[in-house]
A and B are shown apart, each in its own frame.
Chain A
């Protein structure tokens, strides 16, 4: 693989990298906003601070990715984040769901963090040096996020009773959409060929699936083996439209203003 910087990429490669960056950035951005909805109402004060802080970390990762994307496409990071309509977002359908109860948020964070860990491990080996460096940096913080999500999943699973029931119910609702973190990208062939994405999404999906399946089988029986769906990053829901209205409200109040 040849070392290349973003500026020397041709138009096809630039478009492909832009699609990849947008998909990861939107995932981080949207889960960050959903989880920030717990600020003030998490199960205990310490958890409130922890969840809010992790949500802020995700927004921070999204910001770094949007900035990289803005540089690549000559756009503006704030405009990409707040200036698109809901249908312009490319996050996985897993992140279309509203926050739900605590068990639902724990189930989603677990599904997302485990998938994100597999994806980041691959991106850290990207042929694009800027993306590889950023993914490596994000992994250092995501390790802690994964530990936190893991701690809560096992507490709800092993605690039994209502917590476990709610967790199992949440997993069965979210399971199909969780696959879509690995939904195929339109420019995936180019991404894999150039090494910007070192492995195809279907390979990353298989790796994630074999990793989480034994753990989830102990909580929720009968989760079917599913493939990511083709429209896994383009389907939008009313839940997300509501969230989009919330997080763009300040930006829309005075478009182009400097804060």
Chain B
């Protein structure tokens, strides 16, 4: 049998993000799904699986593209303080809710 590698992603509960679990060797799509089920949910630990042929994944791993050598701090939101504005907005919302208790 010619085997290919399939990457398996699993979701623990409905709504959770799909997280990479590992991979399986299999000769085709059908057995890949069987093996993913047995290796990553035979004890009922997954809510959903994604089984993806490794060669269907487009990889981007070039550090020049992902982490360019120039300073990026101006793209981060660190300089913008919203804490006080957020608290004020929450208080305003609470006050409005108090005025109209029956909605």
Interface flags, A120-163, vs B, CB<8A=1, else 0: 00000000000000000000000010011001000100000000
Q: Which residue of B lies closest to A147 (CB)?
A: B34
> Which of A42-50, A89-97, A164-172, A211-219 contacts its partner?
A42-50
Interface size of B in residues (CB-CB distance below 8 Å): 14
- Check B64 for interface membership: any CB of A closer than 8 A: no
- Check A229 for interface membership: any CB of B closer than 8 A: no
A50 pairs with B25, CB closer than 8 A: no
- Bound complex: CA of A148 vs CA of B36, how far in Å? 13
Residues of B with C-beta under 8 A to A151: 30-31, 34
- Check B13 for interface membership: any CB of A closer than 8 A: no
- Check A73 for interface membership: any CB of B closer than 8 A: no
- Check B38 for interface membership: any CB of A closer than 8 A: yes
- Bound complex: CA of A148 vs CA of B39, how far in Å? 14
In the assembled complex, how far is the CB of residue B5 from the closest CB belonging to chain A, in whole angstroms?
11
- Check A53 for interface membership: any CB of B closer than 8 A: yes
- Check B26 for interface membership: any CB of A closer than 8 A: yes
- Bound complex: CA of A144 vs CA of B1, how far in Å? 22
A46 pairs with B30, CB closer than 8 A: no
- Bound complex: CA of A157 vs CA of B45, how far in Å? 34
Q: Which residue of B lies closest to A150 (CB)?
A: B30
> Given A49-B39, A49-B42, A53-B42, are A44 and B34 neighbors across the interface (CB < 8 Å)?
no
The residue from A43, A44, A47, A144 contacting B37, defined by CB atoms under 8 A apart: A144
Residues of B with C-beta under 8 A to A155: 27, 31
In the assembled complex, how far is the CB of residue A131 from the closest CB belonging to chain B, in whole angstroms?
24
Residues of B with C-beta under 8 A to A144: 34, 37
Beyond A46-B35, A147-B34, A155-B31, 17 additional contacts (C-beta under 8 Å) are A43-B1, A45-B25, A46-B25, A46-B31, A46-B39, A47-B31, A47-B35, A49-B35, A49-B38, A49-B39, A49-B42, A50-B34, A53-B38, A144-B34, A144-B37, A151-B30, A151-B31
Residues of B within 8 A of A (CB): 1, 3, 24-27, 30-31, 34-35, 37-39, 42
